[in-house]
């Protein structure tokens, strides 16, 4: 899922310095799973902002809502009846949700409460890590199911680079070497000879490098 | 001959080659490079010029190579894939060749986190193996990566690095095999301190016949001090420094520590000369370039063969 | 068992039920200090409820620092249900701590305006 983290309270609070009526909207999907922007986090943010503003002697009125998700118009529609009453909207969705809300409500100032980080997985409760870069041309069948683009700090297609120590990347002992994982997987699967096949230079045009991307399914359009 | 490189000529003739390295300055002062070049002239067959090593911004490799060429040296342009995309890389290869640079060392490059611009964008449009393929394509087929023909192919001698001591050991030889398959002409290894382990790697290399398809130069670096030896043992990834060498450095009297470092280096070179498949030595005297001449002389490698024409 | 009258007790079946929002809202509504009294570590009837409370409390402390109220107003103490005197001692200790820190800055501000 998409993993995000709440921005520092100070940054969020300074975004709404001059506002006294604020709507905070959470999202029930990815950001709920990674405990960044679900209903719980909306309540926490509201309480925190309330206290920050009370302390400054500049009280604030906050309404709290949480939608199923903010990347689908039908859920965003649920705000139409009252969003106009608020000077500013703080969205606790990922970057996609924040933008979609802004698109649907052109007269509302929609602010991001989160920093969207990556597409990843829950390693354990409280620990999420990156797995996929959305490069648009999946190569997992070539590398034993471990992504060289997302999990190698240099996105090498013919790694490792020689900077790893004890299976950890040169950039940090907390980061596992992606190519170490690939080699171990290929070895476990009895496919180590695949390692010697040179993976040719990548076509990055399917990645963001080629421009903002879109998928259209005519068969599904009414 | 694949290229116009003197280094290629020396290796093809079967001579034991000597290369060294110098790092460009952190400014626009060409004199710094010239001074380093003067220290090496006559003692080496080729000089590597690093490319923003450890992601620290320095005068570009290509320009420093041109300065060294002007002094009569044979520069080996190091090129990392960290900072440039394929358009810039192919362009620089053409430019370098046009300026008379005919040796290139294809590297991935340290992550920008290590340098002075950790916020920079990470390019890595290709990796070192794909870079080797790129130079070979341009040189031997006269084509760009996109398939179009280029006019005036860069006649470069293609090199790459190998680290027999890095993790994981089981793919160290397959990795070399990959580089050979990609078309590499010569290899410079990471500095060698653990000779038994290196000999083990070379045996595996010979078992696969790789030593006959590529010229391998063994890397050496003299210890300046006990501190340096310890630092390399503990803090440099992919470095294998046996305890006996640390002990030797410690045991040497205070004024003779640097000398002991040089002694160890020369012994290493002598052992390397006896290993089948080793065609030369790459002396990396980091910030100690003035010692290269002594090392080359004492290792019995002076004078260097002169190539006519 | 005597403990200071300014301590208001909210009973929960296990401190594992206490979440970040409860702690924050206590301060939001004017509490000068909040403390969690949980079972001794290792003795939790629900196994790790008191450990969850501890983690949430530590997280809330950092939030309170960010908010500007101060994380030192929030504490957690561990004791067994049989340790009546310890309960009283903790209540006194916490009260003294809060007296030194002064009233909740929010309350102070509200009183000013």
Determine how many CB atoms are found less than 10 A away from the CB of residue B99. Answer: 15
pLDDT digits (tens, 9 = 90+) for A114-154: 999 999 999 999 999 999 999 999 999 999 999 999 999 99
Residue A59 and residue A156 in one domain: no
Query: Is the same domain home to A111 and A184?
Result: no
Q: Position of tokens 């090593």?
A: B53
Question: Mean pLDDT over all residues of chain B?
Answer: 94
The closest alpha carbon to A199, from B128, B247, C3, B29, belongs to: B128
- When pLDDT is cut at 50, 70 and 90, the band that residue A9 belongs to is very high
Residue A219 in domain? no
Q: How far apart are CA C25 and CA B41, in angstroms?
A: 75
Closest among A5, A22, A17 to A92, alpha carbons compared: A5
Q: Give domain status of residue A126, yes or no.
A: no
CB contact under 8 A, A196 and B178: yes
Residue B137 lies in a domain: yes
DSSP string across B166-182: SSPGGGHHHHHHHHHHH
Q: What are phi and psi of A118, to 5 degrees?
A: -170, 175
Chain A: give the shortest CA distance to residue C24, in Å. 7
A27: pLDDT strictly greater than 50: yes
Counting the structural domains of chain B, the total is 1
ipTM: 0.90
Same domain, A151 and A112: no
A202 lies in a domain? yes
Q: Is the pLDDT of residue B98 over 80?
A: yes
Domain membership flag for residue B133: yes
Tell me if B133 and A200 make a contact (CB, 8 A cut-off). yes
Give the count of beta carbons closer than 10 Å to the beta carbon of residue C110: 14
Q: Is A64 on the interface with C (CB under 8 A)?
A: no
Query: Cβ contact (<8 Å) for C67 and A8?
Result: no
The 10s digit of each residue's pLDDT in B135-177 is: 999 999 999 999 999 999 999 999 999 999 887 888 999 999 9
Nearest beta carbon to residue A201 from set B111, B145, B166: B145
Q: Which of A90, A117, A144 is the last residue of a domain?
A: A117
The rounded distance, in Å, linking the Cα atoms of B304 and A100 is 69
A122 inside domain: no
A142 vs B148: CA distance, rounded Å: 28
Please state which of the ranges A22-31, B74-83, C26-35, C81-90 shows the lowest mean pLDDT.
C81-90
Looking at residue C111, its pLDDT comes to 61
Q: Between chain A and chain B, how many beta carbons pairs sit less than 8 Å apart? A: 91
Residue A221 lies in a domain: no
pLDDT digits (tens, 9 = 90+) for A50-92: 999 999 999 999 999 999 999 999 999 999 999 999 999 999 9
> Total structural domains in chain A?
2
> Which residues constitute the domain of residue A61?
2-117
pLDDT on residue B309: 44
The conformation of residue A165, written as its DSSP 8-state character, comes to B
Q: Is B167 on the interface with A (CB under 8 A)?
A: yes
Q: Is residue B306 part of a domain?
A: no
Query: In this model, does residue C109 exceed pLDDT 80?
Result: no
Residue B111 falls inside a structural domain: yes
Residue A191 lies in a domain: yes
Q: Are residues A25 and A83 in the same domain?
A: yes
User: What does the DSSP 8-state code read for residue A168?
Assistant: B
Min Cα distance A6 → chain C (Å) is 12
Q: What is the CATH number of the domain that holds A46?
A: 3.40.50.2300
Cβ–Cβ below 8 Å for A164 and B166: yes
3-state secondary structure of B278: strand
Domain hosting B11: range is 6-298
Average predicted confidence (pLDDT) for chain A: 96
Residue A131 tokens, joined: 């797995």
In a domain, A111, yes or no: yes
Percent of chain A at pLDDT above 90? 95
CB–CB of B184/B211 below 8 Å?
Answer: no
pLDDT level of residue B286 (50, 70, 90 thresholds): confident
**For the domain that residue B59 is a member of, what is the CATH number?**
3.20.20.220
DSSP letter (8 states) at residue A200: P
Which tops the pLDDT comparison, B232 or B218? B218
The pLDDT value recorded for residue B156 is 97
Chains A and B touch (3+ CB pairs under 8 A): yes
Look at A6-20, A131-145, A189-203, B223-237 and tell me which has the smallest mean pLDDT: B223-237
**Cβ–Cβ below 8 Å for C24 and A44:** yes
Q: Is the pLDDT of residue C113 over 60?
A: no
Does residue A65 form part of some domain? yes
Check CB contact of B204 with chain A, cutoff 8 Å.
no
Q: Verify that A35 and A105 share a domain, yes or no.
A: yes
């Amino acid at each position: 899922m998409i993993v995000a983290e709440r921005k520092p309270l100070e940054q969020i609070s300074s975004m709404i310095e001059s506002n006294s009526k604020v709507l905070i909207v959470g999202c029930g999907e990815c950001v709920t799973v990674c405990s960044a922007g679900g209903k719980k986090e909306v309540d926490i943010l509201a309480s925190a902002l309330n206290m920050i503003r009370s302390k400054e002697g500049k009280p604030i009125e906050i309404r709290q809502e949480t939608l199923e998700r903010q990347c689908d118009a039908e859920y965003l529609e649920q705000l139409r009846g009252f969003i106009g009453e608020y000077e500013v909207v703080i969205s606790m969705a990922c970057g996609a949700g924040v933008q979609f809300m802004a698109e649907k409500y052109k007269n509302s100032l929609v602010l991001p409460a989160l920093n969207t980080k990556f597409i990843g997985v829950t390693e354990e409760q409280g620990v999420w890590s990156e797995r996929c870069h959305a490069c648009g041309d999946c190569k997992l069948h070539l590398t034993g199911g471990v992504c060289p683009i997302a999990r190698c700090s240099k996105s090498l297609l013919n790694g490792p680079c020689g900077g790893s120590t004890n299976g950890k990347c040169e950039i940090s002992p907390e980061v596992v070497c992606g190519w170490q994982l690939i080699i171990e997987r290929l070895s476990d699967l009895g496919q180590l000879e695949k390692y010697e096949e040179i993976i040719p230079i990548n076509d990055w045009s399917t990645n963001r490098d080629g421009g903002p991307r879109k998928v259209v399914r005519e068969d599904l359009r009414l | 001959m694949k290229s116009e490189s003197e280094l290629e000529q020396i290796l093809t003739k079967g001579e034991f080659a000597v290369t060294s390295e110098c790092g460009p300055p952190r400014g626009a002062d060409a004199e710094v490079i010239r001074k380093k070049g003067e220290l090496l002239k006559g003692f080496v067959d080729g000089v590597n010029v690093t490319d923003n090593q450890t992601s620290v911004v320095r005068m570009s490799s290509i320009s420093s190579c041109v300065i060294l060429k002007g002094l009569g040296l044979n520069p080996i342009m190091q090129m990392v894939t960290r900072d440039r995309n394929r358009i810039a890389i192919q362009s620089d290869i053409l430019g370098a060749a046009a300026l008379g640079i005919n040796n290139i060392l294809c590297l991935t490059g340290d992550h920008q986190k290590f340098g002075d611009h950790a916020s920079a964008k990470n390019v890595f449009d290709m990796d070192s193996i794909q870079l080797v393929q790129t130079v070979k394509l341009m040189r031997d087929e006269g084509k760009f990566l996109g398939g179009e023909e280029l006019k005036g192919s860069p006649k470069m001698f293609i090199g790459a690095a190998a680290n027999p001591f890095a993790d994981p050991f089981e793919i160290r030889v397959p990795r070399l095999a990959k580089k050979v398959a990609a078309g590499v002409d010569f290899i410079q290894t990471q500095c060698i301190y653990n000779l038994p382990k290196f000999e083990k790697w070379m045996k595996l290399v010979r078992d696969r016949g790789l030593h006959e398809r590529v010229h391998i130069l063994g890397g050496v670096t003299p210890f300046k001090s006990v501190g340096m030896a310890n630092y390399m043992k503990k803090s440099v990834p992919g470095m294998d420094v046996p305890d006996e060498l640390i002990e030797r450095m410690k045991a040497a009297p205070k004024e003779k520590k640097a000398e002991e470092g040089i002694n160890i280096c020369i012994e290493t070179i002598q052992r390397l000369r006896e290993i089948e498949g080793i065609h030369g030595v790459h002396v990396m005297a980091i910030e100690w370039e003035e010692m290269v001449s002594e090392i080359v002389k004492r290792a019995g490698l002076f004078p260097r063969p002169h190539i006519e024409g | 068992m005597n403990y200071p009258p300014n301590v208001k007790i909210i009973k929960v079946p296990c401190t594992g039920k206490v979440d970040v929002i409860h702690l924050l809202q206590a301060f939001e509504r004017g509490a000068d200090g909040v403390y969690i009294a949980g079972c001794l570590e290792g003795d939790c009837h629900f196994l790790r409820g008191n450990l969850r409370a501890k983690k949430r409390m530590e997280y809330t402390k950092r939030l309170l620092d960010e908010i500007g109220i101060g994380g030192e107003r929030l504490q957690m103490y561990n004791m067994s249900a049989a340790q009546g005197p310890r309960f009283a001692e903790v209540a006194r200790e916490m009260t003294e701590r809060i007296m030194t820190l002064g009233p909740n800055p929010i309350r102070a501000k509200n009183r000013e305006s």
